[in-house]
Amino acid sequence: MKSRLLSATLGGILSLTGLFAGAAFAEETDLSPEQAGRVRAEKVEEAIALIPKDFKFNTPGKLTVASVPGRLPFATYATDTKTPVGGEPDLAQLVADSLGLELQLIPVAWADWPLGLTSGRFDAVIHNVTVTEERKEKFDFSSYRNDLLGFYVPLDSKVTSIAKPEDVAGLKVIVSAGTNQEQILVRWVEANKAKGLADTEIQYYDDEAVLDTALLSGRADAYLGPNATSAYKAAHQKNTRLVGTFSGGWPETAEIAVATKKDSGLAEAITAALNAQIKNGNYARTLERWNLTAEAITESRTNPPGLPKQ
């Protein structure tokens, strides 16, 4: 059962609440362009040795990386309104440091990164890009996070675990329309119906503040969305908790990776750089800084299996 619950008046009022909440986030999070708390790394000679001798960086001496400022913990603009900061820029810094290069971040719109990478506008893309078999035909990848979805409930909720389709039977679940997680949830609901289990009411909200109020007021039981953004939000607002995670490619495993130009040879060097930072602990400290620990991997891989073509 699907329900679209929208209220322009309530949404307008609660959007103001969301603005105040956003201000509180800014006070608790370092959004300065200097990023004094950012984890830095030493050169990794093994990784540097893997850079092809004929590889030409966009700017000599620099690793030029595309970033998509929009939402934390991935990336947003710093207080100077031009410098991308967040978990993905921090990861880009580790890679650049490992390769003995200065980091140069290029803010782009999400839809523009494939063409920009192909044309050589930047050397790599580091912004929550999921590895897919279709993308692997055009780009190379170096994995650095698991792609996780998360179920979040209010702190006082009686729901303790959502680990399988049967666990959403009889619940009211919020999800964003047109997303991968919506498709997964719909498949879960259909599977439950085939088993004769109670229906799940799927709710949609166009305004995040209205969504939050619906969840915290009890009009909905759970919210399903990208674990990274929900985990960051839960850590700061402290009014929701995680009750289950699963792969963003369910039932397949999905990984987030650095994207580089196909057959450029840079991916192997970046993979070696990432593995060095995983081994020395800098990687873990970087993820912890942005509440991304739940998505940590134990080893970076070049061109791991991607989500199958649709």
The answer to whether residue 3 scores a pLDDT higher than 60 is no
**261 and 228 in one domain?**
no
Would you state the pLDDT for residue 134?
Answer: 92
**283 and 138 in one domain?**
yes
**133 and 50 in one domain?**
yes
Residue with tokens 């207080």: 79
Each residue of 101-157: pLDDT tens digit?
999 999 999 999 999 999 999 999 999 999 999 999 999 999 999 999 999 999 999
What secondary structure does DSSP assign to 22-57, as a single string?
HHHHHHHS---SS-TT-------HHHHHTS-TT---
Q: Domain range for residue 230?
A: 2-28+148-247
**162 and 237 in one domain?**
yes
Q: Are 30 and 72 in contact (CB under 8 A)?
A: no
Provide the whole-model pTM: 0.81
**163 and 227 in one domain?**
yes
Q: Is residue 303 part of a domain?
A: no
In the chain, the number of structural domains is: 2
**157 and 114 in one domain?**
no
Residue partners of 218: CB distance under 8 A and separation at least 6: 154
**204 and 216 in one domain?**
yes
**194 and 179 in one domain?**
yes
Would you state the pLDDT for residue 183?
Answer: 87
233's enclosing H/E stretch is helix 227-237
Structure tokens at 190: 């259909």
Q: Are 159 and 165 in contact (CB under 8 A)?
A: no
Would you state the pLDDT for residue 240?
Answer: 97
For residues 277 and 284, give the distance between their C-alpha atoms in angstroms, rounded to a whole number: 8
Q: Is residue 309 part of a domain?
A: no
β-pair partners for 247: 148
- Is the backbone peptide bond immediately before 73 cis, with ω within 30 degrees of 0? yes
Q: Is residue 308 part of a domain?
A: no
Q: Is residue 225 part of a domain?
A: yes
What phi-psi label fits residue 128: left (phi over 0), alpha (psi between -120 and 50 degrees) or beta?
left
In whole numbers, what is the pLDDT of the chain averaged over residues? 91
Each residue of 42-67: pLDDT tens digit?
999 999 999 999 999 999 999 999 99
Q: How far is CA 242 from the centre of its chain?
A: 16
**284 and 192 in one domain?**
no
For 121, phi then psi, to 5°, come to -65, -30
Structure tokens at 253: 């495993």
The answer to whether residue 23 scores a pLDDT higher than 70 is no
Q: Is residue 37 part of a domain?
A: no
**119 and 131 in one domain?**
yes
For residues 140 and 123, give the distance between their C-alpha atoms in angstroms, rounded to a whole number: 12
Structure tokens at 284: 């873990």
**274 and 243 in one domain?**
no
The percentage of residues in the chain with a pLDDT greater than 70, rounded to a whole number, is 91
What phi-psi label fits residue 100: left (phi over 0), alpha (psi between -120 and 50 degrees) or beta?
left
Which of 247, 277, 303 represents a domain boundary (last residue)?
Answer: 247
Identity of residue 39: V
Q: Is residue 310 part of a domain?
A: no
Would you state the pLDDT for residue 20?
Answer: 35
3-state secondary structure of 144: strand
Strands (E) across 166-309 are located at 172-174, 201-204, 222-226, 240-247, 255-261
Burial of 242 per CB tally in 10 Å (0-12, 13-18, 19+): middle
Which of 247, 262, 279 represents a domain boundary (last residue)?
Answer: 247
Which of 231, 247, 263 represents a domain boundary (last residue)?
Answer: 247
Residue 2: pLDDT band (50, 70, 90) is low
Would you state the pLDDT for residue 5?
Answer: 45
**What average pLDDT score do residues 17-37 get?**
66
- CATH number (domain holding residue 49): 3.40.190.10
Q: Is residue 40 part of a domain?
A: no
Each residue of 178-216: pLDDT tens digit?
877 998 999 999 999 999 999 999 999 988 899 999 999
For residues 57 and 48, give the distance between their C-alpha atoms in angstroms, rounded to a whole number: 13
Q: Is residue 156 part of a domain?
A: yes
**177 and 98 in one domain?**
no
Would you state the pLDDT for residue 196?
Answer: 98
Q: Kindly tell me the sign of the dihedral angle through the C-alpha atoms of 52, 56, 60, 63.
A: negative
Residue among 93, 122, 127, 91 nearest 110 (CA): 127
